[in-house]
Structure 1
Amino acid sequence: MTPAIVAEMAPLQANEDGVILVGKTRVTLDTVVAVFNQGVTAEEIAHRYPSLNLADIYATIAYYLKHQSEVDAYLQQRRQRSQEIRKMNQAVFDPQGLRDRLLARKPAQEAC
């Protein structure tokens, strides 16, 4: 009797913000691909991110290797969106202005 071989889909799902997560965790596809591209093994990834199981890590890496251009395009979109959000936040919450305001408060607090 030969066992039935069933192909499984990659354990990837997008959350409500469109961020792709691995398995039923909060670990992103971005994270797994980044550490894999740094030369980290699947076993090391499992050690670093204990919420991931080894089978999901291997499946994610296999999906990435088979669909590298699509995943790279997705990752590039994520980087661009991240930069846009960072610029918007810096415009609204100017870090230099915040530092100046905090330093201006310091003498008033020391007088108390």
Structure 2
Amino acid sequence: MTAAAIEPEPVPLTRDAAGRLVVIGTRVPLDTLVAAFERGDSPEAIHESYPTVSLGDIYAIFTYCVRHRDDVNAYLAGRAEERGAQRAEIETRFPPDGLRAKLLARPDA
């Protein structure tokens, strides 16, 4: 009996138009899955929250994250910097000062 050749499967991640890593066939970003796992959610609970991502893909992605921890951490740190810069730009263009008071003062509030 000959042993069957086992071919490795590619990590089910791709870059979207914005450059984010997302699960192939979905719009679920890697950041979201990692944040849920770090919060203590099990892969099964994450699958329940994001049913478009198969349980097998979640396990494959987390395996990749464990094996390439430095690369994933660098990617996540870069994404956090991008989000911070984007937030700063938005707050510069649209200062949030007094926004809550303005919203509460609206007649339909």
Q: Shared topology, TM-score over 0.5?
A: yes
Give 1:73's aligned residue.
74
Q: CA RMSD of the aligned region, Å?
A: 2.0
More helix by share: 1
- Quickly say closer, same or farther: Cα 1:53–1:95, change in 2 above 3 A: same
Pair 1:26-2:27 in alignment: yes
Q: Highest Rg: 1 or 2? A: 1
- Quickly say closer, same or farther: Cα 1:10–1:96, change in 2 above 3 A: same
TM-score, normalising length: structure 2: 0.86
In 2, are the aligned partners of 1:23 and 1:56 still within 8 Å (CA)? Answer: no
> 1-side partners of 2:13 and 2:42: how far apart?
19
SS at match of 2:14: strand
- Quickly say closer, same or farther: Cα 1:41–1:102, change in 2 above 3 A: closer
In structure 2, the gaps of 5 or more residues are: none
Give 1:62's aligned residue.
63
> 2-side partners of 1:104 and 1:22: how far apart?
43
SS at match of 2:97: helix
- Structure 1 residue 44: deviation in Å? 1.1
Which AA in structure 2 matches 1:12?
L
TM-score, normalising length: structure 1: 0.84
> 2-side partners of 1:37 and 1:102: how far apart?
35
> 2-side partners of 1:33 and 1:3: how far apart?
33
- Structure 1 residue 9: deviation in Å? 1.3
- Quickly say closer, same or farther: Cα 1:41–1:103, change in 2 above 3 A: closer
